[in-house]
Amino acid sequence: MDWQTPEDSFPTDFITDAQLRALMGRPPISGGWRDGDPVGERQFTAIGDLTTEFGGEIPNVRIAYETFGELNERRDNAILVFHALTGDSHLVGAAGAGHPTDGWWSEIVGPGRPLDTDRYCIVAPNVLGGCQGSTGPASLSPEGREWGGSFPYLTIRDQVAATARFADALGIDRFCAVIGGSMGGMHALEWGLTQRDRVDRLAVIAAPPVTTADQIGLNLVQLEAIRSDPSYRDGNYYDAPDGIGPHHGLATARRLALLNYRSNTELDERFGRAWQSAVSPLGGGGRFAVESYLDFHGNKFTRRFDAGSYVTLVQAMNSHDVGRGRGGVRAALSTLDLPTLVLGIPSDRLFTLEGQDEIARHTPGSLDGERATRIESPFGHDAFLIEFERVGAQLARLLAE
């Protein structure tokens, strides 16, 4: 679910008390990118007004994006990469002004790498509803204030429709490949189903064909953590007079999510029942190392993400069902006759391997037939953000098709 590998790859097994203490100051009311912040490497494209599946109206939609490599004269060497829930357009590059984290796929994208920027132009948009420059809850509504809780409900299909308009604006009629992992894999699947004449290959990584009841339930707990924070104010917190956003709720949602991004065996081996310290800077007695890990990343997350966007994007993920209105999952996937890499991780407890096998089983173009390609790793869902050599080799295989 989370493509922010540098943040979630712990340099050591323990967070120091000093690191925890450094995050005890008040975060900004929203950790997302806002107009007036440093632009960094972002570019922006306007795609006009958008009507959502369920009748919402969003005028003057803007998509933020980054590109890596050059689009050739024929404009036929582009690859579209969709990010995961808390990712963004910053695939490659250092953290700095405008970019709170290092690029999340630097080992995959670049000269001579699997997504070779000497050959391809890699296009990475921030999805509609995101908080890193694209139109979302923190953007100004027609009333001249942030949309907040009135931002229209979005589906994965809405976001793909917006991305298709974005591609039109860039003058890209067709992509060599469309690639995505986790939430981005949902977008890649929808692109293949709704934009079949605009893509040569698909890569669907650690994503399901439909968001299950179990996954929706897990998402509900995260959403309620945010909504129950008194500072959430039904999503209308951006101009709160006390300057306090729903930091506690967002950090708690992040803690819950992190538990599903890694496997239970990896967390046990990494932390066990080790104590962080005898006395915690947060008060009370000793703390287990895994508690410290979750607290550190929960609090850090509030400094780079927006609670309103988190709610919007999680709700969009809940909408994901490739079979909706198409005669069911099997009937929908049977139309995907293009080369398709379906990549799953046996230790993934968020989007389990059964979902990827179902996609492969019903997709005529699946590279490995009725069985998803496996990445064996102890890192669970996050393996596709960590096992760069294995993931890169599979992407290179897809591009050779």
DSSP label of 232: G
State the pairing for strand pair 109-110/115-116. Answer: parallel
Residue in 226, 211, 177, 172 with CA at minimum distance from that of residue 63: 172
Catalytic pick among 99, 320, 362, 381: 381
Among residues 348, 357, 377, 382, the one annotated as catalytic is 348
Q: b or e along 275-289 (b: 16 or more beta carbons within 10 Å of the residue's beta carbon)?
A: ebbeebbeeeeebeb
Nearest to 215 by CA among 249, 258, 260: 260
Coil/strand/helix, residue 46: strand
Residue with tokens 């690029």: 103
Give yes or no for a contact between 202 and 178, defined as CB atoms under 8 angstroms apart. Answer: yes
Active site residue 277: no
How many Cα atoms within 13 Å fall on the side-chain side of residue 71? 16
Q: What is the DSSP string of 239-271?
A: T-TT---SHHHHHHHHHHHHHHHS-HHHHHHHH
30, 134, 139, 182: the catalytic one is 182
In the residue annotation, 182 being an active-site residue is answered as yes
The verdict on whether 381 is a catalytic residue reads yes
The residues assigned a catalytic role are 182, 348, 381
